[in-house]
Amino acid sequence: MTEIQKNLIAGEWQAGEGEIENRNPSDLSDLVGLFAQASGDQLDATLAQARSAQREWAAYGMERKQAVLMAIGTELMTRAEELGTLLSREEGKPLAEGRGEIYRAGQFFTYYAAECLRQLGENADSVRAGVEIDVRREPVGTVAIISPWNFPTATAAWKIAPALCYGNAVVWKPANVTPASAVALTEIIARQDIPRGLFSLVMGAGRSIGQRLVESPQIDAISFTGSVPVGKGIAAAAIQNLTKVQMEMGSKNALAVMDDADLDLAVTLALGGAFGGTGQKCTASSRLVVHEAVHDAFVEKLVAGTQAMTVGHALEAGTQMGPVVSAQQLAENLAYVDLGRSEGAELACGGQRLEMATEGFYMSPGVFLNTTNQMRINREEMFAPLTSVIKVASYDEALSVVNDTNFGLTSGIVTRSLARATHFRRNARTGVVTVNLPTAGTDYHVPFGGRGDSSYGPREQGKAAAEFYTTVKTAYISAGPV
């Protein structure tokens, strides 16, 4: 009988009010495991414990905290092959990507381990004689972290690591689609020198556990990555308690290919950006805005490259694109294929369900041609291995199309012109801009986030994370006469 993987509640591993089954999207006959679903009472209990644990953790010395985060990061990097295999098995991304994600998650922890030792305040002179001022950052309190399934370990890590670094307690609700990676990370964290109940894992449905979590007055801050509708719902619930929120949501990223671009480079960037992670990235290149002078040559190379991609089992050697994560996601993806055709777009290749040696959620990467920026396939986040080519007549038109969206996470340009690259960097209305690089792929030590419907609240990653995970205290001191 398969053992039920438990939640970490108030410092103890506990079964829940039920469990869910988790299967490998590359091979549905492969049962990854059974995972407990937390009850509302368990959530309340772990929230109560988190508050006292947080005060104890905040009182730990800097070096003691640093050692904890360093140990977590080092173990993740050391076990990248093992845990990357587990991640790819349950999420569907090729093993190289799964292994890389675990290693990157470890780097988040080692980065914030160092930040534990760099929490410097400020001093100021007062406008009043004999008064001095110091400004410091203190923990915000208990943080709810709600993470997605597409980067189940990395996205969680870039939230959990700064939360702990800056002295907070963490209550983590991961996506129910990828619970195995959540349990694996929690086991590593739970073994460390931390107060009982400082870190909690509460697996459960968003409509029950997730909703109760964001509505709780015992939560001081909520960091969420997911869809726009869910994010707006969280914000509406959080405002009732004036809870601090940080949200990374949808996107519709554009890669602009100019008439002076290196076409081989442009195609490589487009293929990786559009189909890496099976297109299930918030930074995916889902709009390819191409200058008419190179449009036909670019499209020919792009379609050939797309058709040459190897779709297969995530753990098989040579697989370039694995399955999508679930039956629901596959159905939504295929519905977008039908929508694109109904809007008049030409499906040049792919976009079909594939039958493989093992039963799974496979589809071929697809390219739409003859699209306009007003089509729904170019307005809505598809989260699929689908991309659309939009032909433009000039750089100015390309920039206008790039910016014509409700989102604003990433954008990129492929050009040899320093003037265009500089102008694009300054005028693209996205939180992240790339030049001759994919729209997907960011560093861990610098801010990450977007504009419009893509993001709300302070930036994630790097030193910018302190803005969300801490609160500022200004102290006035009068020492009196000598």
In one-letter notation, the amino acid at residue 61 is G
Q: How far apart are CA 302 and CA 304, in angstroms?
A: 5
SS (HEC) of the chain: CCCEECEEECCEEECCCEEEEEEECCEEEEEEEEEEECCHHHHHHHHHHHHHHHHHHHCCCHHHHHHHHHHHHHHHHHCHHHHHHHHHHHHCCCHHHHHHHHHHHHHHHHHHHHHCCCCCCEEEECCCCCEEEEEEEEECCEEEEECCCCCCCHHHHHHHHHHHHCCCEEEEECCCCCHHHHHHHHHHHHCCCCCCCCEEECCCCHHHHHHHHHHCCCCCEEEEECCHHHHHHHHHHHHCCCCEEEEECCCCEEEEECCCCCHHHHHHHHHHHHHHHHHCCCCCEEEEEEEHHHHHHHHHHHHHHHHCCCECCCCCCCCCECCCCCHHHHHHHHHHHHHHHHCCCEEEECCCECCCCCCCCCECCEEEECCCCCCHHHCCCCCCCEEEEEEECCHHHHHHHHHCCCCCCEEEEECCCHHHHHHHHHHCCCCEEEECCCCCCCCCCCCECCCHHHEECCCECHHHHHHHHEEEEEEEEECCCC
Instruction: Write out the catalytic residue numbers.
Output: 248, 282
Taking each helix axis from N to C end, the angle separating 179-190 and 80-91, rounded to the nearest 10 degrees, works out to 150
**Alpha-carbon dihedral of residues 216, 219, 223, 227, nearest 10 degrees?**
0
Q: How far apart are CA 7 and CA 218, in angstroms?
A: 19
* 43-48-51 Cα angle (round to 5): 125
